[in-house]
A = this chain, B = another copy of it.
Amino acid sequence: MAAMRQVVLRSRPAGNPHPSDFAIEEAPIPQPGPGQLLLKTLFLSLDPYMRLGLDEKPFGGANGVSIGAPMIGSTVSEVLESNSSAFAVGDLVEARTLWREFAAVNDTQPGIRKIRRDFAPLSAALGVLGMPGQTAYAGIVTIGRVKAGETVVISAAAGAVGCIAGQIAKILGARVVGIAGGPEKCRAVVALGFDVCVDYKAPDFARQLQADVPGGVDVYFENVGGAVTRAVLPLTNYGARIPMCGFISMYGIGDTGPGPDQLPWLMRLIMLKGLEIRGFVGAVVGGAKAIEALETWLAAGRVQLRETVYDGLEAAPAAFSKMFESNNNIGKTIVRVAR
């Protein structure tokens, strides 16, 4: 039985993940059973939400990873063998196959789908034409209900979701203010069409942000939490919408953080400003409509695809860990596992 490589969880991260929390090991290439496909991994998606599955008590109980088990993850893969009438050898699919070179998956796996071969770079299925694109669309269009002339603030603006969210908000006619870490990322964000980008590492970040939203904030696309959130929310207008996409600055700290308790502050603001804060699953809320819209905008050059690509499965642990350290990645973070 031929062997392949896979990445397993060696230890639960304390705070942010570290490459030493993972191990690369050999495993037999699986055999596809009835109704299954044998897939060869081409591209692996790295997403911040994966951190939430690494705690002893994983976020929501879903997608938890056991010590010694392969890491969760979506991939673009090629069908090498098919015991399914729905997929043919040579098809390209997006599927949840874990961090490994080959996988056998059921053809009924939730979310498994064929990828168009010649429309866009294949990895786009993990970014602008996949879950991050759906999440951006859902947050801006459905939850945020962004209207022309409104001011939208997007944190983690250089991230996979943020950089698409901002481009969609521009298409809708909004003034779009990004927040990102460092001048290089801010330049990249502005190059994507954001009106301005504020560096949260700047000593006068809160003052700069306030100066850049003279009419207040109508929609805050939340990706970060912590100090960034504390700077943005006081600038919101009455009735502002806050799509709660993530809070990466606090993923590693468990249920509670160091005091004081900021909950009274948030509840006051919600009452005072009639805020609407809402969590959502991008793939569900955005759905096929989001992908169709993004395909159209991408084809018309109205949305730019940005990604940072790492080479080789062995690069995944370090690349994933760097996502939590304010790296200089722009756009979607991808690992190219095979060509």
Contacts and interface: CB of A to CB of B under 8 A. Distances in A.
A288 interface: no
Interface stretch (A20-28, A116-124, A254-262): A254-262
Contacts of A318: none
A273 B279 contact: yes
Q: Most chain-B CB neighbours within 10 Å: which of A245, A253, A260?
A: A260
Which size class do A's interface residues fall under? 35 or more
Interface string A264-287: 111110111111111111000000
Given A244-B267, A274-B281, A278-B276, A260 B256 contact: yes
A250 B267 CA distance: 9
A59 interface: yes
A13 interface: no
Q: Could you say how many copies of this chain the assembly holds? A: 2
A324 interface: no
B276 A225 contact: no
Given A258-B259, A259-B258, A274 B264 contact: no
Q: Which of A247, A268, A272 neighbours the largest number of chain B CB atoms within 10 Å of its CB?
A: A268
A263 interface: yes
A246 to B, nearest CB: 7
A110 interface: no
Given A258-B259, A277-B277, A277-B278, A247 B272 contact: no
Interface in A47-95: 52, 59-60
Interface of A: 52, 59-60, 225, 244-247, 250, 253-268, 270-281
Given A246-B271, A254-B264, 17 more contacts: A59-B271, A225-B264, A245-B271, A250-B264, A253-B264, A255-B264, A255-B268, A258-B260, A261-B261, A261-B262, A262-B263, A263-B263, A263-B266, A270-B279, A274-B279, A275-B277, A277-B277
